[in-house]
Structure formats: structure tokens, C-alpha cells
Amino acid sequence: MRNTYFLPPEWAPQRGVLLTWPHDRSDWGSNLPGAERVFVDLAAHIARFENLIVVCHDVNHRRHVTHLLTSRGLDSTRLSTFIAPSNDCWVRDHGPITVFGADGKVLMDFVFNGWGGKFSATLDNDVTTSIHAQGAFADTTLRHIDFVLEGGSIDVDGHGTLLTTASCLLAPSRNPSCDRAAIEAKLHETLGIKRVLWLTEGHLAGDDTDSHIDILARFCDPDTIAYVTCDDPADEHYGPLARMQKELHAFHSWTGAPYRLVPLPWPQPKYGEDGRRLPAGYANFLIINGAVLVPTYDDPADVVALQRLRDCFPKREIVGVPSLPLITQGGSLHCVTMQLPADR
């Protein structure tokens, strides 16, 4: 009998969160100290609720990371470190996607090609295999999938529905031989997906991912989607995000009812040192056991975003994590994390 897989939603119980720590051989340059401050904050918040697995570039890097975390007072019993060279820290896209099969958990190790070949990714693509061999995932089965898929490009409701964007999954730089039907078939085969909701509109300037869903719209529960909005008609995002909102209103949940849609506020534009606009948004939150970690940007909209997500997750602590340094390299909190589900 063919194995049927189940991809749990992010709010399902977790055994831990995986991080790939940034280092000085990646593209961070002078922004590395700021990025590490965010990572230390993020790690400390995660360790309050569950275990933390950190991938370090080499032995010296592990010594450095361990010092940063123990100096912060992080509970060492919650921390495991492993060594694997990496190109960068975006583990949401190069880390494993964990599903449940007939024989238990399976780590789906998809191909990561640097968001369609935009950046070098050979080391990143090998991280999961390397740390699996070191025992990072205990005896969980690892399955290599010859298909390009990034964790940030998909979001699920726990009832067989997957939300994604056409601009990413249908990009010819990822799986050029696959049309929409073939991609849906692959998602069914590897993740147990029953239906796919495709957004064709929406983007954030400064994003390198071809509009990952985790920067635009996220499931908060099977019946609720939080999504980014723009209230400034003069902004380049106003039209595309308004059209995305219209698409979301046309979707129905797994029960057949319209979704409860929760608009997230629009922060003031943020720019890098080179004048490039940065992809600041509040949909890039991370759900963990007992809490939701939300990126903040030293912006008046931070307070509104935290309150709206508090309404979405009334039984979880809502924690703002200052994340301006992360968006200088095009990502935010969800992009640098990958949850690992607990055993069922």
C-alpha cells in the first residue's frame, strides 16, 4: 500500500526549533553583529518553551555561538549544537520538512537551489544530510526528494490544505519541467496535500524568494488567515496587495466556509544602506509551543500587529522580537527557523 503522509500545521506540538547560525563567511558583512543579536534574542525566547537545535559553521563557530547563548543565560539542557558548513542562515528553506507516515516521522529533504539560482546554495543544500548523520534528529528517517521546494513557500492548515504563491512554485528556475498539475501531484505525494490554494498576487519589495507565502499570508488556525495589507495608495504595494486580499476573500476553508481574514498593518518603508527597500512585514511570525514570536521593526505599526496576532492566538503568549537587522538581507524571523514536530 502506498504510504500516505501528513504535514502538521505549525501550531501542532513541537519537539524543538532548528536554527542555522549566521557567520562571517556569508553575506552579512558589517550587519553580522546585529543579526547575531536577533538570533540570541530569538534563541532565548524559543528555549523558554522548547528545545533548540543550532547548526554551526565549524568548531570555532560553535564555541562562539555557545558562548553567546550561555552568556544570555539560556538553559543548556534545551540546547544542542551540530557542525555543518552553510552558505547562510535561512534554514526555513534549506532545513527538513517533517511529515508523518505509516511508520512514523519522516524528514523530507527537498532540493534547495538558492531561490531559483539567485545565490550559492551548495553548502546549504547539504546541511540536513550532514546533521542527520550526526544524530540531530535521533532515528527519524531522512528521505531525499529530487524536487526544489522551500519551507517558506508553503503553509498548511492541518486538514490537507496548502497555501502558496504561483510566482514562487511555478517559477521556471525551480522545477522547469513541472506545470501546476505536476507540482500539485508532487505535493500530494510527498506531503499528503489534498488541495492547493494559489495566490497569484502580492509581493514585498526587497524579497529574493519570488514571494514566499510566509511573507504574505499565514494560517493561524484551520479557519483563519492573517495577511499583509497596505493602506497607502501611493505605495507600490497598494494595488498588488489589494488584489491579493480579493483572492483571499474568494477562498474557502476545508469546511467550505469563508476564511476569517485578519489584516496585518503596514509598517513605514524601511531602506538598506544602499537605498534598497527592505521586505518588512508581520506575516513572518513563528508559532512555537505556548507562544508566537513576531518580528518588530521599531515602527508604530508594531503595536497593532502584536495586538491583531494576540487576537488570533488567545492561548499563546505573543512576543515581539526586534528584527530590523534580519531584513537587511531579505528575510525575517520565520525565514531563519524551522520547527520540528513532536511525536504524535
pLDDT for position 344: 85
Across 124-259, where does the E strand assignment appear? 141-148, 155-156, 161-165, 195-199, 217-221, 224-228
| Residue 141: strand pairing partners | 106
Q: Is residue 42 part of a domain?
A: yes
Dist CA 282 CA 333 (whole Å): 9
Dist CA 287 CA 11 (whole Å): 6
pLDDT band at 44; cut points 50, 70, 90: very high
| In contact, 302 and 310? CB cutoff 8 Å | no
C-alpha closest to that of 244 among 198, 300, 286, 297 = 198
Q: Is residue 151 part of a domain?
A: yes
Tell me the backbone φ, ψ of residue 38, rounded to 5 degrees. -65, -45
pLDDT mean over 100-128: 96
Tens of pLDDT, residue by residue over 263-276, are 999 999 999 999 99
3 state SS of 3: coil
pLDDT band at 2; cut points 50, 70, 90: low
Tens of pLDDT, residue by residue over 68-92, are 999 999 999 999 999 999 999 999 9
Q: Is residue 261 part of a domain?
A: yes
Our count of domains for the chain comes to 1
Q: Is residue 282 part of a domain?
A: yes
Long-range contacts of 68-74 (CB under 8 A, 24+ apart): 68/36, 68/40, 69/40, 69/43, 69/44, 72/40, 72/43, 72/44, 73/44, 74/43, 74/44, 74/47
How high does pLDDT run on average in the chain? 97
Give the residue carrying C-alpha cell 534547495.
112
What is the CATH number for 46? 3.75.10.10
Tens of pLDDT, residue by residue over 51-72, are 999 999 999 999 999 999 999 9
Supply the pTM of this predicted model. Answer: 0.97
Tens of pLDDT, residue by residue over 127-167, are 999 999 999 999 999 999 999 999 999 999 999 999 999 99
Give the residue carrying C-alpha cell 505605495.
235
Q: Is residue 3 part of a domain?
A: no
| In contact, 195 and 162? CB cutoff 8 Å | yes
Q: Is residue 165 part of a domain?
A: yes
For the beta carbon of residue 14, count every other beta carbon within 10 angstroms.
21
| Residue 17: strand pairing partners | 52, 339
Contacts of 92 (CB under 8 A, 6+ apart): 150, 151, 152, 214, 334, 335, 336, 337, 338
Cα first-last separation, the chain: 21
Dist CA 111 CA 299 (whole Å): 36
pLDDT for position 49: 97
C-alpha closest to that of 20 among 116, 130, 107, 106 = 130
Across the beta sheet with 79-83, what order do the strands follow?
79-83, 51-56, 14-20, 338-341
> Is the pLDDT score of 19 beyond 60?
yes
Q: Where in the sequence is the domain holding 37, given as residue range(s)?
A: 14-341
pLDDT for position 3: 60
pLDDT for position 162: 98
Q: Is residue 270 part of a domain?
A: yes
> Is the pLDDT score of 1 beyond 50?
no
Tens of pLDDT, residue by residue over 299-315, are 999 999 999 999 999 99
pLDDT mean over 289-299: 98
Q: Is residue 8 part of a domain?
A: no
